[in-house]
Amino acid sequence: MKIVEKYSHLNGEEYLIVHKPQLWQEVQDTIQKVDAGACRTKISKERDRLGELIYSPPGINKAFKEEFERLGWKERRNNFWVTSDTKLLRGIYDLPEKEQKKEIEAKGLTPIKSFNQTDFIKERVAVEVQLGKYSFVAYDLFVKHLSFYTSNIIDVGIEILPTKELQCMMSSGPSYYEREILNVIRQGRGVPAVPLILIGVEP
């Protein structure tokens, strides 16, 4: 695959160029090593393209997983506890997981265990390959990357998305780079409050 579009939010790319150039190169090399042609294996059942050979998102995801894991990138969970008391949540969010639970119980409330999970992390850089429904991208950008950043687990988040051209050769449903750039830009320069790189890829 190839990178055809790129957007740096809050100097995400600039940070990697200066502080983690080898990791940034690994991400770019990994994208180039993914053989999209080998993932064009799905026979469409949609009425307007019935029988057409289209790209398989699970196949592309698997190819990315194999390449990233070969270089030592690993999946990571960020566990935390929640409750309905918003004032309490604001006060405990930055605490370690066990302390969060204790604080909730001390208030006589029931702690609820929760977590966020990201596809790949290596040396405080997170990568999400998002070929699913459009709502998943918003969750990645405005919840998942931000959660890992505010929990001091990452310094930069990277979101890999299909461009509109690639998305048109997939099943209906996945979002695409051009749409998600608008969703970030229209929030203003400081939202989400985490350095990001959005990457648009094509075969």
pLDDT in tens, 119-163: 999 999 999 999 877 678 888 999 899 989 988 999 999 999 999
As a whole number, the mean pLDDT across the chain is 92
Single out the residue of 161, 155, 120, 119 nearest to residue 138, CA to CA.
Answer: 161
Residue 4 has pLDDT above 90, yes or no: yes
Tally Cβ neighbours within 10 Å of residue 151. 16
Residue 188 has pLDDT above 90, yes or no: no
In whole angstroms, give the CA distance from residue 50 to residue 5: 30
> What pTM did the predictor assign?
0.88
pLDDT top residue among 133 and 183 = 183
Q: What is the pLDDT of residues 29-53, one digit of tens each?
A: 999 999 998 988 888 887 777 788 8
pLDDT computed for residue 172 by the predictor = 65
SS (H, E, C) 75-135: EEEEEEEECCCHHHHHHHCCCCHHHHHHHHHHCCCCCEEEEEEEEEEECCEEEEECCCEHH
Residue 173 has pLDDT above 90, yes or no: no
pLDDT computed for residue 45 by the predictor = 81
